[in-house]
Amino acid sequence: MKHHTVCRLCSACCPVTADIEDGKLVRAERKSFLSPEKRLRCPKLKAAPEIVYAPDRVLTPLIRKKGGSGDDFQTASWDAALDLAAEKFLHFKETHGAQSVAWLRGMAADWGAPWDYANRLMNLFGSPNTIGNGSVCHVGRDMAHVYTYGAMTLPQPKTSRCILIWGKNDRNTAPGFSEAILFAKQRGAKLIVIDPVKTYFAKMADIWLQIKPGHDGQLVLNCVN
């Protein structure tokens, strides 16, 4: 049986068709506007069944044993894990104040409500310290789009006539975008790549600006002037 869904193994969130046999995932294939023989393959998606059914995958909360170290953990129920987390929250709030607690979150493919829940929890707890890598990544991009266009927008490389890739390697991170860029390039689109590294797309670029690492800001300021 085939199920149409979205892959969440990375932030590309590619649409996929998943094959289910006897209630188990056996394979998944990314959807594409290209014919099957021209599509870019994703090694992560190919390994999806192995990832889903990996024998060492963590499926229940683990709590470190008292006095334990390293991998000295014991399984616990969700209630026990949540009670321990709540106990620690209250301990540090009563001992050092609410602002001594920070919530750090890494990259995820589900920005939105799950992130808002964390912010709301910390707001009620009394700490403004909800942090993540968004401050040096998505948040700045989102703010620039909102102030410029009024909303977050998405590029449309497939129909573009000039494509600028700046510090990004879609060939390794976003197969769908990568296919669209290649499609446009084959139809005459100009390709400009700004990257210290000679990436897959830098090799085929009409213009490759090999800036020094960390000099993006200087290039931006020169463009503005």
Residues 27-39: what's their mean pLDDT?
Answer: 89
Amino acid symbol at 218: Q
Give the pLDDT score at 172: 85
Q: What gap in Å lies between CA 38 and CA 203, rounded to an integer?
A: 20
The structural domains of the chain, ordered by start, are 2-52 (2.20.25.90), 60-96 (no CATH), 98-152 (no CATH), 157-224 (3.40.228.10)
pLDDT in tens, 48-97: 999 999 998 889 999 988 776 767 889 999 999 999 999 999 999 999 99
pLDDT for 224 equals: 67
In the chain, alpha helices (H): 43-46, 48-52, 78-96, 113-125, 138-149, 170-173, 175-186, 200-204, 216-224
Burial class (CB in 10 A: 0-12, 13-18, 19+), 134: middle
Give the Cα-Cα-Cα angle 121, 76, 105 (nearest 5 degrees): 35
Say how far apart CA 32 and CA 21 lie, in whole Å. Answer: 23
Residue 92 buriedness (CB in 10 A; 0-12 / 13-18 / 19+):
middle
